[in-house]
Amino acid sequence: MKGKIKKLALFVMIAAMAIFMAVAAASAWWPFRYAISGQYAVTGFSSCDPASPGIMEADYTFRLDGTGSIRGVGRSLPGSPDPPRALRADFEYTVTKEGRIEFQYPNPPGGFKVGVVDEFGNFTPFMTLDGAPSHGVISPDGNMITISCGPPVFLTVLQSFPGGPPVGAKMWCVTTLSGMRIR
């Protein structure tokens, strides 16, 4: 009987240590525990267009490695004759356990490109900004997302192409987007 109790006690201790080690290993990987994966369609208001405020629609794609991309369009209000502006950016992100998202645009510093898309789908930038929407929240079930610039920010033109504003020009921006997972 004593031998069986000793074996049971040893088994319980080993099981407890295994659980403890699994929890410790999982917490060591905390940046990846809160990663987002999938594509989200968002729409909302943006004041970043220097001509007039507008509506922004975009697809945000998130990868589990903490990177993602934006592909979207901005339209000026009210019914501007200018063509819609194409929006492109690659980003890095982090997510807290509460679902708060922080975006960084490191490629080059800034890397948020605004341009046009021709009839063949080719993107031609006319400016690169030093930032873009930088904050967000994702729902606990991962299906709903809200993205914004946070407080109103000044964005600076880092690169300008033919037809774009001068390098160094500033734009006051407020952007608020919300959407849902589509993939």
Residue 1's pLDDT is 60
26 and 53 within one domain:
no
Residue 126's pLDDT is 85
156 and 68 within one domain:
yes
Give every residue of the chain whose pLDDT is below 50, as ranges. Answer: 8-12, 15-16, 18-32
91 and 7 within one domain:
no
Residue 23's pLDDT is 43
80 and 159 within one domain:
yes
Residue 50's pLDDT is 59
40 and 27 within one domain:
no
Asked, as a colleague might, if the bond just before 81 is cis with ω within 30 of 0, I would say: no
Residue 48's pLDDT is 78
Residue 132's pLDDT is 87
What is the value of pTM for the model shown?
0.78
Domain, as residue range, for 16: 2-31
54 and 20 within one domain:
no
Residue 71's pLDDT is 95
147 and 110 within one domain:
yes
How many domains is the chain partitioned into structurally?
A: 2
Specify the CATH number for the domain of residue 39: 2.40.160
75 and 27 within one domain:
no
Residue 42 near residue 60 (C-beta atoms within 8 A):
yes
94 and 58 within one domain:
yes
